[in-house]
Amino acid sequence: MKLDLLDDMEGLILHERENFLGAMEMKLNNTNKDSDTISRFPEKTPLAMAYVPFQQWGETYGDDEALSKGTLFPELDLPFSGGGDSR
């Protein structure tokens, strides 16, 4: 009896997971169409993992500004705002 229940549970969890992955993919595809850019995530990115988006070439600061900002890339110019709610 107990084993049957466990089997059912596993099936249910798997089913839920598949549904969720499907929904995520659709969402990702839609956002891609909207913004017309390449995804920063690999295809079929698994859930529950932490990712660092892959940097793409864009604007660069001049050498003068780069040194004072601490980065050549405006995209990476993310000053620490002291841990409070900066919004």
Q: Which helix (H) or strand (E) covers residue 11, if one does?
A: helix 2-35
The pair of structure tokens assigned to 22 is 């499907």
The pair of structure tokens assigned to 47 is 């859930």
State in angstroms the smallest separation of the CB of 19 from another protein.
35
Calpha distance 28→44 (Å, rounded): 10
At 64 the three-state DSSP class reads helix
Q: Does 66 bind another protein (CB under 8 A)?
A: yes
Site string for another protein, 37-56 (x = CB under 8 A): -----------------xx-
State in angstroms the smallest separation of the CB of 32 from another protein.
21
Dihedral of the CA atoms 32, 33, 38, 41 (nearest 10)? 20
Q: Does 59 bind another protein (CB under 8 A)?
A: no
Pick from 4, 36, 63, 85 the residue near another protein by CB under 8 A. 63
Q: Does 21 bind another protein (CB under 8 A)?
A: no
Binding-site ranges for another protein (CB under 8 A): 54-55, 57, 60, 63-64, 66-67, 71-73
